[in-house]
Structure 1
Amino acid sequence: MKLTILGGGGFRVPLVYGALLTDRGEGRVTDVVLHDLDAGRLQAVARVLAKQAAGVPDAPAVTATTDLDDALRGADFVFSAIRVGGLEGRADDERVALAEGVLGQETVGAGGIAYGLRTVPVAVDIARRVARLAPDAWLINFTNPAGLVTEAMSRHLGDRVIGICDSPVGLGRRIARVLGADPNEAWIDYVGLNHLGWVRGLRVAGRDELPRLLADPGLLGSFEEGKLFGVDWLRSLGAIPNEYLHYYYFNRETVRAYQQAEKTRGAFLAGQQARFYEEMRDPDAAALAAWDRTRAEREATYMAENRETAGAGDRDADDLSGGYEKVALALMRAIARDERATLILNVRNGSTLGALDADAVIEVPCLVDANGAHPMAAAPLPGHAAGLVTAVKAVEREVLAAAESGSRAMAVKAFALHPLVDSVNVARRLVEGYREVHPGLAYLR
């Protein structure tokens, strides 16, 4: 089975390949094609993968190419993990937004809109090529903003595109662990949009254990989200929010912390990864060791400003191992082998959430089989959550409309309507600021 990874020179690709090396079952991936626009990055990642495969019998063969059409032909699965504009673009997103006093995070607020505006046209082109060159392939979208990009691609690939994210999985596992339950045996009632969802229940043997957690301040304050949001706020919500909701619930504090930070997250990662890829130019460099060292630093500093604002301390060791690659492997296995699995995924709504239309991409538990991912029934969201979800989905739709039409006015509308951008005038300045730093937004007129 052939897997094509778009953005194959990306830093996290070895996580995916490492997961593939653990799969010894029938119908496993035997060929991996890495595609990237940067041949140097492709070569660096290929070196890491070669070290991972050393001594592993029948490890998936790896090839690399800068030709997109060649990469797609004959693919059974396509992973889209692109970053339009690179990490330098992410740093620009943060800088322009923070100068206006609003959030520049890559998936939330102004930064997420800017990233979406330059990513959607590229993602749509990829979706059209997949439909033409690999019509039977399943496209698994890693590209952020994951829900928005998945929805853009679904307009051309239908239900054959599925978005994944490790945030809900990590949240569910943390809750299960603190309750003394096996995460693999727990049913997680999670619903929302990507990076905008809530755990409303966690069932073990048919019993909802979340009320026990909410009633115990000691337990509730002992894990990442309890430290991040605070026990009192979680008990007020009656649910455990995705960590990215910290940007909404504590927005002013987070923006201030990001403004005061020595470097934004994007600038930090751009410098860190530049050093890694530069090190890989040395043919004698220990590729896998350098990658492991860089990854550990990356994971340990994740959402550092948010944790500092909340006084949450360092991340727990159990949260430093990633996880999205495991979701991707489980998803592929379920589809390729018809091994039924329940996974939290980004898929088209259908009739799952009555507040949204059928084509809106949401993030919910899905039953996955050979026919794809099927969202499971969900109880309605409470008013505060429904309002936030519908408002952010409306913004995503404006981003899609702006990307399709090239309308600067629609782009301004997208920024202005976002709950974390509080001024039409700020929205106008954001559009102009982003157009100045991103050549990929020249289409907005």
Structure 2
Amino acid sequence: MRLMIAGGGGFRVPLVYRALCAGPFAGLLGELVLYDVDPGRLGAIGAVLRDMPGPAAGRPAVVVSSELSQALAGTDMVFAAIRPGGTAGRVADERVALNLGLLGQETTGAGGISYALRSIPPMLELARAMRDHCPDAWLINFTNPAGMVTEALVPVLGRRVIGICDSASGLVQRAAKAAGVPLAEGVLDGVGYFGLNHLGWLYRLQVSGKDALPGLLADETRLATFEEGRLFGGPLLQRLGCLPNEYLYYYYETARATAAIRAMGETRGASIHAQQAVLYPRLAGVSGPEGVPGGGAHDGGASGGPAYRLWDAARRSREEGYLAEARGQGEDRDEEDLAGGGYERVALAVMRALAGGGTAQLILNTPNSPVAVPGDADVAVPGLPGDAVVEVPCTVAPDGALPLPQSRPAGQFLTLMRRVKDTERLTIRAAGNGDRGAALQAFAGHPLIGSEDLAAKLLAGYEAAFSGLRGLWRDPV
């Protein structure tokens, strides 16, 4: 099997390769193609892969390419994890909103809309290129905002695009462990979860006919053993009667989250941008014979070669800062959450199931109805349109991801999902059709913004930050 990663110079690519070299996904792949528009980043990540710990024998062959048609030819699967504008773009996504007193976060609120306006157009180009060069290939989308991007691509690729995120899966696994009912990987029988990407709730954790979730929500000691339990606290969780995805902290504690980000002095994006500005040149400088990064694949031993060690130290530092604004002062992340290994396991489990390696149940982003129709019939999440991309448990088999029916969300959950879905669809229209008016409506209608005046200021700020954004609109501004 041939896998192409669009965004092959991305920081988290070594996590995918590491999972392909050992463990349950070893031997799944014959060739890995890294495609990126930045040859320097490709070379740096190539150095990390060649310095990966463990024996060189049995690893997938790695090919690097900056030519899209060449990278796609003969490809069976495409993983997409691109970041138009780079980490500097993320800094602007956060800072423009913060300067107006709004939440500054990468995928949530104003920053998520700005990010989508940049990421959807090149992802549409990728999808159209796949249709031309590898029409039978599957696209597994990591590109954020994952739900919006996936929905934008469904008209081009149909069911052959699936969005992934490890946040929901991680919540389910942590909750099940805390409740004393750990789940086997790839099995979600009895799990009830509904939502959109970065906006979902675990509402049932049923094992052997008994729902373990109410007992967990009532047990402060058990809640304190995992991140979401500590993040939201027992009183709120008991009122909700469910466990929210960690990103809902930005909705339930907007003022506190915004104040914490401002108090940190440096946004999460600025921290990552500074880290990568130093890291990538250092990785590119770790070269072996004849300038080949890492000197070719080798037996790296337990700790790997120098490029891998540099990358892994940066990865751990990055994980330590994840959602720092939502944790108490001095509170560290759990050691198992620092180990890495989340979204790539989800992606590879999807790939294996699509390739005929057995069915798997996973929480994914996919159209609400198996036939992706606008109406409400045969939907996984009642109350949302059939063609809306939702994040729900799915059964994955060679013919795709089948969303599993969920309970109808209670009023407060459904109301929030509908409001956010409306802004997502306006954003998709703005990015896909060059409709500036739709972009203004998206900003104004988002529940974390809710103001036409702020919407105009946000869009003007992002247009000033991103020179290409004005060129997106059909009508000159």
Q: Is the 8 A contact 2:80 2:142 kept in 1?
A: yes
Question: Which amino acid in structure 2 is aligned with residue 408 of structure 1?
Answer: R
Query: 1:435: which partner in 2?
Result: 463
The two structures have a TM-score, normalised by structure 1, of 0.96
Question: 2:402 aligned to 361, 369, 374, which one?
Answer: 374
Change (3 A) 1:228 1:403: same
For 1:56 and 1:202, the matched residues in 2 are separated by 41
Query: 2:387: which partner in 1?
Result: 359
Output one character per residue of 1:169-224: Cα deviation in whole Å (capped at 9) or x when no partner: 11111111112222316642111000000000112233211011012222123321
Query: 2:178: which partner in 1?
Result: 178
Question: 2:263 aligned to 256, 260, 263, which one?
Answer: 260
What is the root-mean-square deviation in Å for CA atoms of aligned residues? 1.6
For 1:422 and 1:98, the matched residues in 2 are separated by 15
Deviation at 1:254, TM superposition (A): 0.8
The reply on whether 1:246 has 2:249 as its aligned counterpart is: yes
Change (3 A) 1:88 1:324: same
Query: 1:416: which partner in 2?
Result: 444
SS in 1 for 2:51: helix
Structure 2, gaps ≥5 residues long? 288-304, 370-378
The two structures have a TM-score, normalised by structure 2, of 0.90
For 1:31 and 1:234, the matched residues in 2 are separated by 46
The reply on whether 1:327 has 2:346 as its aligned counterpart is: yes
Q: How does 1:153-302 map to 2 (within 5 A)?
A: 153-184=153-184, 187=189, 188-283=191-286, 286-302=306-322
Change (3 A) 1:114 1:25: closer
Question: 1:347 aligned to 366, 375, 393, which one?
Answer: 366
Deviation at 1:406, TM superposition (A): 1.5
Question: Which amino acid in structure 2 is aligned with residue 410 of structure 1?
Answer: A
SS in 2 for 1:140: strand
The reply on whether 1:105 has 2:105 as its aligned counterpart is: yes
The reply on whether 1:318 has 2:336 as its aligned counterpart is: yes
Question: Which amino acid in structure 2 is aligned with residue 325 of structure 1?
Answer: E
Deviation at 1:27, TM superposition (A): 7.4
Change (3 A) 1:7 1:210: same
Output one character per residue of 1:416-444: Cα deviation in whole Å (capped at 9) or x when no partner: 00000031101000000000011231223
Question: Which amino acid in structure 1 is aligned with residue 106 of structure 2?
Answer: E
Query: 1:390: which partner in 2?
Result: 418
Deviation at 1:94, TM superposition (A): 0.5
Change (3 A) 1:293 1:92: same
Question: Which amino acid in structure 1 is aligned with residue 61 of structure 2?
Answer: A
Question: Which amino acid in structure 1 is aligned with residue 147 of structure 2?
Answer: G
SS in 2 for 1:380: coil
Question: Which amino acid in structure 2 is aligned with residue 327 of structure 1?
Answer: V
Question: Which amino acid in structure 2 is aligned with residue 426 of structure 1?
Answer: L
Question: Which amino acid in structure 2 is aligned with residue 300 of structure 1?
Answer: E
For 2:3 and 2:91, the matched residues in 1 are separated by 30
Output one character per residue of 1:100-159: Cα deviation in whole Å (capped at 9) or x when no partner: 111121110000000001111111111111111110001000000000000111110001
Q: How does 1:11-90 map to 2 (within 5 A)?
A: 11-22=11-22, 28-52=28-52, 55-90=55-90
Query: 1:8: which partner in 2?
Result: 8
For 1:85 and 1:119, the matched residues in 2 are separated by 9
Change (3 A) 1:207 1:24: closer
Question: Which amino acid in structure 2 is aligned with residue 278 of structure 1?
Answer: P
Q: Is the 8 A contact 1:27 1:336 kept in 2?
A: no
Question: Which amino acid in structure 2 is aligned with residue 63 of structure 1?
Answer: V
For 1:215 and 1:228, the matched residues in 2 are separated by 15
Task: Name segments (4+ residues, structure 1) moved above 6 Å.
Answer: 24-27
For 2:219 and 2:263, the matched residues in 1 are separated by 35
SS in 2 for 1:183: coil
